[in-house]
Structures are given as C-alpha cells and as structure tokens.
Structure 1
Amino acid sequence: MGIIQDKLRELLVAQLEKEGIDDRRVLEAIGKIRRENFVTDEMKKYAYDNVALPLEGNQTISQPFTVAFMTQLLDVRKDDKVLEVGTGSGYQSAVIKELGADVYTVERIEQLYKKAKQTLTSIGYEIHFRCGDGTLGWKEFAPFDRIIVTAGAPQVPRELLLQLKPGGKLVIPVGSKSAQELFLVERSLLDTPDDEPLYSRAKYFDFKFVPLIGEEGWKEIN
C-alpha cells in the first residue's frame, strides 16, 4: 500500500508541474508529505486525486493545486515567520513547514484544531497552534513575514494587514461566500511620510473556499 501511495504522490507532483507549478521547493515539499494522513478514513483512497476533499465540521482539505499555487505565491523563505489562518486538516501547515518556516496556525473549530495538532505533532512537525478567531491574527507573535488565509473572506482583514512585516506577503481569497478571487498583498518596505503602511495588490483567477468566519470575516454561515 505504501509503495502505491508513493507512486501516486509522484504522479500528483508531476501533474502539478504540468499545471504550472514551477517552484521546485514547493513541488519537493508536496512530494514528501503523505496527504493520506490528513484526510478522513473514508477519503484516503482519494488522497492523491487533485481535488478538494471533505473534512469534519463542513470544512475541506484544499485541492493540491490550490495548496501548491498559494504556497508558490507566498514565496516562503527559510526561517520566515508564517501565520496561517485556518489550520483545517494541517496539510497546508505541513507544506509550509517543509519549506523551513516557523509556522503559527490558528483554527476556530476545536475538533479540527485538536485533530490537526495531533496529526502534525505525531509526524514530528514543531508548529505553534491556537484555537480561536484567525481573522484577528496572532498579535502576541506579530509581525509576520508571511500570512496565508485558507478560507474565503469578504475583504482583507485589517488586523492581518497590520500584523504583516514591511516587505511581507499575504495570500488570501476574497469575494462572496460562494466564490472568491485570490489576492497577493505585499507591504512596502517603506511607509508613507505619515507613517502609514503602503500595500500593493495583485489579483489571480477564481477559486472556491469555505467562508472565513470571525470578527473581521463573515459573521455567520448561511
């Protein structure tokens, strides 16, 4: 079974490369991680299909292409301090950790928080976990070199912008509850003469994520 899964993982990496993922570090990270460890027992046979899969609490583990594309945009460097909003299964956390980052991840659903923490810790990843409202970031450890949000927001949360280092990058899906566009937000190294931070934004193609719930996200799921 392990040999089959290893081969399927190789095929998935090759597929991602064909679809435009060209950051070798990201491809190598995905090639190391056993996605079957991050899905439910019922979904293990689909672990290396390039599709999103259901999790507990009406959440999902993102499509591998989406994980790879967002990680490539994030441009994580060794020893970067990275905030992840929406731990989910923990798979995205693992990919970022494989790139050598110091990962801080926040999950609002206690069941997912506990399971992801158990999974990632048992594999041997040293990651900082918190259960709470990720739209407010994690002020205690701010600022961050990189921030990634794995749920769809109605707008970019101001608290996350304020917790981004000068020169830092934020990747976030923004739009309605049913469809979003992916944004890369970069903070300038220099602020305005009034000491206000400057940001630039680049928009990418459409994605579909579960809603980002929280004080600076959607207030409820309807």
Structure 2
Amino acid sequence: MPLYCTKGHENPIDGRFCQHCGEPLPSVVSNSILPGMTLGDRYRIVRELGHGGFGRTYLSEDLNRFNEPCVLKEFAPKVQGTYALQKASELFEREAGVLYKLKHPQIPNFRELFRVNQRGNGRLFLVQDYVEGQTYRALLESRKHQGARFSEAEVRQILLQILPVLEYIHSMGVIHRDIAPDNMISRASDQLPVLIDFGGVKEVAATVESEFNETPGMET
C-alpha cells in the first residue's frame, strides 16, 4: 500500500519524505488508521490528507452513498490530563456544531459526528463533504516553482469571491479566525474558493495543549 502526502503524491510505503514535493510523510507505525480500513461500518479510508492539533484528516469513501468521497477529521488531541482532554473534546464538538448550522455553497457540508472503538480505544470523528481541488497554498507553491505569482487582478478576484462567504458566516455569529491560503480550496469544478477548518478550534486547541501540558500537578 503506497503512502500519500497531503497533496496526493504517491510514495513507497517505507518513505519518510515525499519524492515529489519533500513534505514529511505520515508514519504507518504510529498511525493505526491505514488506507483500506473501514470505520463505523461505513467509511473506507483512502489516504491521509493532513494532521494538526486535534488529530488527522482522511479522505474516505462513504459506503452507504455509493462510495461518495468525504472527509473524516479524527479527534486525537496532543494533551495530557482529564480536564485538558475534556476541554479539547468540547472544542472539537463545538466545531461540529458550527459546521452543522452553516449552509453555504462555498463551505463543506457537515454530515455527522460518530464514535468508534478500536483496539480498546474510543475515537471521535467528524464527517464532512470532500471538496475536490487544491489549497491556495499548494497553488502558490506550484507557481513559485515556475517563477510566477498570483497577479493583483487574481488576488482581487479571490477576495471578491470569498467576501460573501465571510458576510454569511458573520451573519450567523461565526468568526473563522484563521483565513489563510492553507484553509481555502480552489474548487476544481468552478474555481471558486471554498473555506475550510472552522471555529478557530485549531488556535484554541494549541492554547489548551500549551497551557495544560505546562501546568504541574495536573490531574490525570
């Protein structure tokens, strides 16, 4: 089974870095969720898309919807202690709640929150629609390799296309807090920017991790 970087490049199973872009590859030794596995008797893992403060994100196939692609976000925070884990879990479920109430064509649809038991460990996953395309970070890096950049006109167009999304989420009382090229995907079907990774959860999770890992005598 090959390994894939977050840009979808295929690499040999024993690789540590992507042969195409140099990105560090996920470790199959430390990660017990592998391509081909089925979670919740419904979601078949295709490949890892990325990882962050809460856990990993996977491209999956929904077996109940004719193998339709979707995204699974795993809850596996890098924190220690009962209170810290409870706080991180609340933040993760808060992100699910935010996604659940947002309905916009340039925001991935929330599908469900589900739990599975694997090898005695309970795991929590958030499921949302998969958006085919590349992040603007990946597009920028690709242009830089070609000695090019986004033109002023292109940047202005992207901003004009994403502003209605921000107007909508603000009307719903939501602040994204991490608008960046990594968190916007140029959708392949129409090249419109799609906003991902909501709730400011990653930033808050990093704060929780730092605070509770550095607090002596924390209950475990």
TM-score band, normalised by shorter chain: 0.3 to 0.5
TM-score under structure 2 length normalisation: 0.32
Higher helix share: 1
- Whichever of the two has the greater Rg, that structure is 2
Higher relative contact order (CA 8 A, sep 6+): 2
TM-score under structure 1 length normalisation: 0.32
